Chains A and B, each alone.
Chain A
Amino acid sequence: MDHKRLTLFAGHYGSGKTNIAVNYALALANEGKKVCIADLDIVNPYFRTADSSEQLKAAGVDLIVPQFANSNVDLPALPAEAYRLVEDRSSFGVMDIGGDDRGAYALGRYVPFIKKENDYRMIFVANCYRPLTQAPEDALEVMREIEAACGLQFTDIVNNSHLGPLTDVQTVLDSVDYTEKLSQLSGLPIYMTTVRSDLAPEISKHIPNVLPLLLQEKYFDLPDQKH
């Protein structure tokens, strides 16, 4: 996979942006690149990039998080240092944008810088098993709303279709038609398919450009849900 200087992940809330952004940043770091990741999610109060801070730190990834992330207040404030990510061109930058058009408003202020540099990939994260984007047409609608909110056009699609702990190889293979339809409707290429790491070897036999995802174990995973 080729990388642009900036990679932005946006999409419907709950589509998997944060997990993918974290794993993508780690994959870049693994390739020996200098990487900075910014959590620009002003929508979601729980389960954020900051949850992976130790892992990111260990891999040498620079993490920018809003001051109040994971705290007890709901203040959608963006960190001033997020500008560092768009302005410091010596580092690869990964941006985790909040869900839907409401989350994408936060991106707007950085868009002039991003367009000026013109070395970015704006990625729409799609999961065909999410209730409000089950039809490619609905996903396209969300895409257009996000573009209108932030003023930046999508350039690529990531297929992140999964059913949480119930995901198997077939779950992902069943999503191929959906993603191709979305690709046709939007005219955008499918940049990669993201899958839970244990499924990646098998799925790679059928689908190109698979990024294996390491998922955090959560305290509320049930005994029979652990992988």
Chain B
Amino acid sequence: MAQRILMKGNEAIAEAAIRAGCRHYFGYPITPQTEIAAYMAKKMPKIGGVFLQAESEVASINMVYGAAAAGMRVMTSSSSPGISLKAEGLSYIAGSDVPALVVNVQRGGPGLGGIQPSQSDYFQATKGGGHGDYRMIVLAPASVQEMASLTIKGFNLADKYRMTSMILADGTIGQMMEPISFEDAEIEVYEKPWALTGTNCERKHNVVNSLYLKPEALEVTNFERYERYKIVEENEPMWEEYMMDDAEICVVAFGIASRVAKNAIVAARQEGIKVGLIRPITLWPFPKEALRKAADKVKGFISVELSMGQMIEDVRLYTQCKRPVGLCNRCGGMIPSPDEVLASIRNAEKGVF
């Protein structure tokens, strides 16, 4: 049997990052992700890495920008309000085409909100957050094992496409404990000829920058960047299908909501309702094809979210509004119960979405 350890979701992210070769962590404490920083503070000094608690979120994201420009595997982590503060840096990092890993262990919002779990930063993660035309790869773990495996995947994809990978988790997955293994970890290493590593007087200077004096040049850079994004959209969508083979109703849920949904689906199946789940693992790129195909065979969708309904817009978009899409949600730090999801499924069975 694989050697297993019992980890909190937040610890799993930190340990996975270290195993992926991350030796630079810059952060600022905020509940409910503080264990990431605590773990890094304990381990980084022992392995010759850098743990630095910056003076603010803005400072920490710019330290990430600097270390990324130097070709390091680097990360920061925060929770919702802290990610808003990092938004400027996220845009600069995207505009400079350097790879980084950013973790958002979401809590209730808007504003200072609260410390209980939430998924209401979906728009912020998948549609921007910072200014300008850019995308981030957004990975949504639904277990502690995935907190680890998607962190490693996130570093790999960031280096491969020279962009930011965001782990979009929530407070519950950050805090809960499950046994995990690192046995299947696949760590990819990419050459970074663009990195600022010193020329040794042997090559031309590399420049990492997001400022373009000529609008024509900025436009071309954006066009080229979006060509790269197109490849990501073609190659990298990840999702899980659960009991979808004969499903007539499709629940769409990611992260913690998908776990609640699975319990509701098992209960609904016992009542004879044919219902399944599509769980997006990448929120960007969104698993469009899976949704498009499902729209051809199910009679409707239910989006289960810990928000006022954000992913539901993508569900409608990528099913081209062919079928009704209902919302089952709680917000502000509350989580839909399996019974609440089951009630939505029963309604859907009656044609009420």
User: Which residues from chain A sit less than 8 Å from chain B, CB to CB?
Assistant: 13-14, 44-47, 71-74, 127, 129-132, 134, 162-166, 218-223
Contacts and interface: CB of A to CB of B under 8 A. Distances in A.
Interface string B319-353: 00000000000001101011000000000000000
A4 to B, nearest CB: 29
B6 A127 contact: yes
Contacts, number: 83
Which of B35, B179, B333, B335 has the most CB atoms of chain A within a 10 A radius of its CB? B179
A129 B115 contact: no
Q: Give the dominant DSSP class at A's interface.
A: loop
5 nearest A-B residue pairs (beta carbon): A72-B114, A163-B179, A46-B175, A129-B6, A220-B259
Q: Give the dominant DSSP class at B's interface.
A: mixed
A134 B43 CA distance: 14
Interface in B1-58: 4-8, 11, 15, 31-32, 35, 39, 42
Interface stretch (B60-68, B221-229, B260-268): B260-268
Interface of B: 4-8, 11, 15, 31-32, 35, 39, 42, 108, 113-116, 143, 171-172, 175-179, 256, 259-260, 262-263, 266, 332-333, 335, 337-338
Contacts of A130: 5-7
Given A71-B114, A223-B263, 12 more contacts: A14-B177, A45-B31, A72-B332, A74-B31, A127-B6, A129-B6, A132-B39, A218-B176, A220-B176, A220-B259, A220-B335, A223-B266
Contact of B171 (A45, A134, A166): A45
A131 B5 contact: yes
A166 B179 contact: yes
A218 to B, nearest CB: 8
Contact of B178 (A131, A134, A164): A164
Contact of B6 (A47, A164, A220): A164
A222 B179 CA distance: 13
Contacts of A162: 6
